[in-house]
Structure 1
Amino acid sequence: MKLSRLLKNILKNSIPQSLLLQKGNKESKKIALTFDDGPFPEKTDNILDILRRHDIKATFFMIGSAIESNKDLFRKIIDEGHEIGNHFYNHRSVSGRSYEELDMEVSTWEKVVKDIAPLYDYPRLLRFPYGRSDLKSFCYAWRNNWRIVHWSVDSRDLDPISVDVIIETLKSGPISGGDIILLHDDSMHAEVLLEWIIREGLKSGYIFSRISELKT
């Protein structure tokens, strides 16, 4: 392991879960499905159909500009009982961004959500674009009462490989209690992988929950 990666892991492991959540309680039977980068017409609708069929609630980390372009789909997500999280107004990396730029991204996202669904009390969950962060972005989240949510299982649904290869990789590191699973609304493999993850999770006795319901 490179020194920079080692230092990053040490830093992340020293941050309280009230600020950074990467995995819930491993002794719990609860796991969480999370979807990034949406909403997208048709693709997100298909995901919602699968979740509805299995009576499962998930957490969607949505981009503000995509919400603005798909207001009815956004309302559908929250009306069906799913949870949403802040994934910035534009999907741009935090690297090299000023504090003011971070605030503009996050606060513009909030304004969009409040304008479309003024009565919706959204949880203060924040996922940085590409999952990348730095000290400045952590300080911003802490000062503004956002809980950063990462993931413990990357479905690799965006990888340019076959879904069979992805599933074999997931089998080699099976899902465990407290896992936060990363998927993407617009992935070509999202629907097949979602069905497989749900089937395997239920078979192993896990309960799919929203991020806010995970035991930590």
Structure 2
Amino acid sequence: MRLRCKLAAAMVVMLPFAAGAETPAYARDEAIGLIIGAKAGGGLGLGALGATPVFELELGYALPLPKPVGRDLQLFVAGQYAMPGTEGDATEPDARLPEPGVMHYKIAQQQAIITAGLLYRIPVPTDAVRPYVAAGGRTWLIESTIDGDAGGQDFGTQTETDQEWGFYGALGIDWFLGPGAALFEVQGVYGALDGYVLRDTHLGSLNAAIGYRLML
């Protein structure tokens, strides 16, 4: 009886893998290699900026390379939107400001981010899932809305625009479902940031996202 229960439990655990055991959609003979993805998640700033939701669209192409690589290597370009913010005090007093001469600020950013790079799906014994690694470069197009005051005097709202460059890396897993794959991904990104208020800092963050890739 115990043996039967153990076998039944093992079958239940393996059902998701058995369901996806056929060749992954991107690697099938009839596949053209086009991959379209959408992701949503959150990011935690490692520099001056705080947490933010992140939304991303991805367009990729699985390269038709000779074995053993095959279609496992993918070119991709992605567009991401984030809206981090922060609040704080200037690090140095300014004699032009009302006493005590230190500006308090609130910053709300809108970031349009473009990333291009390579993604490699790592072959594993099952065809139900593929872990992957990705790396590339990215550019941030930033609009910052700044509200500041000093000594109780409001400076009003100012807008600053900027463009920065940096790097992107990711670890993730594709779980093949239907004509594509559900995904979970952790991203690490870094870029310098040196603006009017946020000086000599960076855009580094850790992001986590879930989504789906349609594989054609």
Structure of larger gyration radius: 2
Higher relative contact order (CA 8 A, sep 6+): 1
Tell me the TM-score normalised to structure 1 length: 0.22
Larger helix percent: 1
Tell me the TM-score normalised to structure 2 length: 0.22
